[in-house]
Each structure stands twice: as C-alpha cells, then as structure tokens.
Amino acid sequence: MPQLTELWVDRTDIRTTKIVNSTIPDLTDGEVLVTIDKFGLTANNVSYAVSGDFIGYWKYYPADDNWGKVPVWGCANVVESKCADIPVGDRLWGFFPMANSTVLRPGKVTDKNFIDDTDHRKELPALYNAYSRTKAEPEVLQTMENERCLLFPLFATSYVLYDYLLDNNFFGADQILIGSASSKTGFGLAHLLQQDKNVSAKVVGITSKGNTDFVKRLNCCDDIVVYGDEDSIDRNVPAAYIDMSGDVRLTKALHMLLEDNLVESAMVGASHWEDGGKAGVLPGAKPKFFFAPGQIAKRDQEWGPGVMWQKAMMASAGIAQAVKDEMTVDWTTNVDDLATLWIQLLDNQIPASRGLMVSLVH
C-alpha cells in the first residue's frame, strides 16, 4: 500500500522538523485523494510558519501536539475519488502540506475550481481553500506549472500590494520603499510599479550587499539602498514602506529617519524573521500587518468574485516571463534533503536568484 510521507515542523521552534510516515487514510464519501507531485519552497513558507498562529496557517492541515504542517503551493493529481463531481485524473493547483499526498473534500465545484469543504477549514480565509482545476485553464497557465508553484503566489501578493497602493493613492507618498527587494514579492511589486507609466512615485529597493547585483539586473528599482545605509534615503519626501523582511531594526531606522513623512508602513513578509520583534511606539504611520485576502475580498465586492485573483494570476505570468532569465530552478526529491533546505531557508542561505522545487512522489 502507498505510504504517506510528510515533513512536520515544531510550531514552538520552527528549526525543529520531523519526517512522518503513515498509511494513507481510507476515503469517506465526498473526499478525494491527491498525489502532490510538485511544490515550491520559498521565503513565503517561512512567513506562513512565523505567522502560523496569528493568521491561522497551521489550521489548514492540523498536526498532533505542538507540531504543524507548513502549507506550500503545489500541483497534484486526483488518484482516487469518492466525490461525484471530481474525477480521477483531474489536475489541481493550490494550497497543500509538505507531503506526497493529502485528502481533500471538494465543495462548490465548478468547471474551473472548487473549495475544500472540510469542517475545520470553513472559517479560514477562502483564498487558501480554493483549488484550481487546471485542465480547464488557458494553455499558457498549464505550461507554467513550475512558475505557478514557485512564483505565482508571491507575485500575486505583489499584485495585491500594487493594487492596495493604487487604491489608496499611495497614501500621498512620492517614494515607495521596499524592504528585502530581492525577495520575489519585493521585486514583483517593484516590477509592477515600474511598468505602470501612470505611477510617478520613485521605487527604492532596500537589500543586502550580496543581493545588490541581482536586484540591479532585474532593473525594476529607481534606486537601491544597502541595509545599514538607510540615511541615504531622502527624508524630506513622503514615503510608503512595504516591509518584506520583518526586520525590526530596519523598521525602526526608517521610521526614525522619515518621521511623519513615513505615511504608510505595511508589514508583509518575514525573510529576516529572526530579526523581528516589537518595534514599540514610532513616529510616522503605525506599522500594520498587510493581509492580502482582505484586499482581495474588497475587490471581490467591487469587481465581482474572482476578478481580482484572475488579474493577479495574469500579472504573475507576466512578471515570471520578465524575470525567468535571472532565475534558476533546483529540484529536491528526498524528504531528508527537504528538511535540510528548510533550515537553509530559515538561515537566509538560499540566494534570491535560486528557486526551490520539491517532489516527494516516487
């Protein structure tokens, strides 16, 4: 009988992992079994783990005791079905655990997608409960599976951030500061801002010295500032800060530098998760967590359900095409190696130009 293989993470110490092998459960009526033959591993997944209790990411695929299953974006095949609306052989893209298989309960099934209707997921953000049935999608999306697993969720967030800034008239800012500009969400946002000829705000990418050349090659920032050199930013120009890093030192430095000219401070990612912490009371706009599903829900009401997400997917495809020559993709097929990569990701040892794809299906 096929074996279920998963990588679990200690929710109280995300450096601690364990490999869990078990028997694949029998399906009940309404369920499908899928094999997850590919998924991406990025700093986004670190953010899921860091904010797992705050946002609820641990709740999508619950584990025992203090353990958790970090969600990833991947592609899967339906290999067994007790759901009349979903046949064996259906191809899916969506939110999965770091595993070779999982069980879903499709609900609200359409030709294009369905939601997982498992009881414990009903109160969780709907965005992450939706699974695309990719055989019904445009061929261009079907040919970009790797990019979709690795880049689209991050670039989709880039698009939502771009829309959020437009929706709020950039909060009156004339410069957009992007912390961890080498991150995929960071340079995705910079790319969208640069490509929009109606955006006059200056795009300032803040990154490490080691990633400076990579960000320069992407050619999506008007200016690049190395960590520690924040004083070079013009303090007299109103600025919106989009924080992909989670580095509290950087947050404090920018607030103290710009004071009331920091008109927006949005916390998005946690690429520097160990440098996080309480910022305390700071001058300028109060730092707040940016929750992408909230902006998507707003646009769903204004534009119609799914329109925002479709726009984000097409924007993601465009960014992926634009930066593909600057990215390399490495594959991992061993769960022990996956555990090692997880630690390297936590330690920021994965170069920004390297993409990690995983397949635990043998």
Does 191 share its domain with 142? no
Number of domains in the chain: 2
**Per-residue model confidence (pLDDT) at position 278:** 59
Say if residues 339 and 17 touch (Cβ distance below 8 Å): yes
Q: Which residues pair with 132 in a beta bridge?
A: 93, 113
pLDDT, block means (10 residues), the chain with 362 residues: 89 96 95 97 88 86 96 97 97 97 96 93 86 87 88 90 97 96 92 95 95 92 95 97 87 95 87 52 89 89 90 89 87 96 90 90 84
* CA 333-180-39 angle, 5° bins: 20
**Per-residue model confidence (pLDDT) at position 78:** 98
Does 210 share its domain with 106? no
Name the token pair of 109: 């099934």
Q: What are phi and psi of 97, to 5 degrees?
A: -80, 165
Domain range for 16: 3-146+327-358
Q: Does 319 map to a domain?
A: no
Q: Does 306 map to a domain?
A: no
* Distance (Å, whole) CA 253 – CA 251: 5
Does 31 share its domain with 162? no
Of the residues 293, 315, 336, the one at which a domain ends: 293
Q: What is the chain's Cα-based Rg?
A: 20
Upper half-sphere CA count for residue 66 (Cβ side, 13 Å): 7
Q: Does 164 map to a domain?
A: yes
Q: Does 12 map to a domain?
A: yes
Q: Does 115 map to a domain?
A: yes
Q: Does 346 map to a domain?
A: yes
Does 220 share its domain with 86? no
Buried b (16+ CB within 10 A) or exposed e, 235-273: eeebbbbbbbbbbbbbbbbbbebbeebbbbbbbbbbbbb
Q: Does 317 map to a domain?
A: no
Buried b (16+ CB within 10 A) or exposed e, 95-119: bbbbbbbbbbbbbebeeebbbbbbe
**Per-residue model confidence (pLDDT) at position 273:** 43
Say if residues 48 and 57 touch (Cβ distance below 8 Å): yes
The CATH number for 257's domain is: 3.40.50.720
Does 139 share its domain with 84? yes
* Distance (Å, whole) CA 239 – CA 242: 10
Upper half-sphere CA count for residue 62 (Cβ side, 13 Å): 8
Q: Does 162 map to a domain?
A: yes
Upper half-sphere CA count for residue 65 (Cβ side, 13 Å): 4
Q: How far apart are the first and last CA of the chain?
A: 13
**Per-residue model confidence (pLDDT) at position 274:** 45
Cβ count within 10 A of residue 328: 9
Cβ count within 10 A of residue 195: 14
Cβ count within 10 A of residue 71: 24
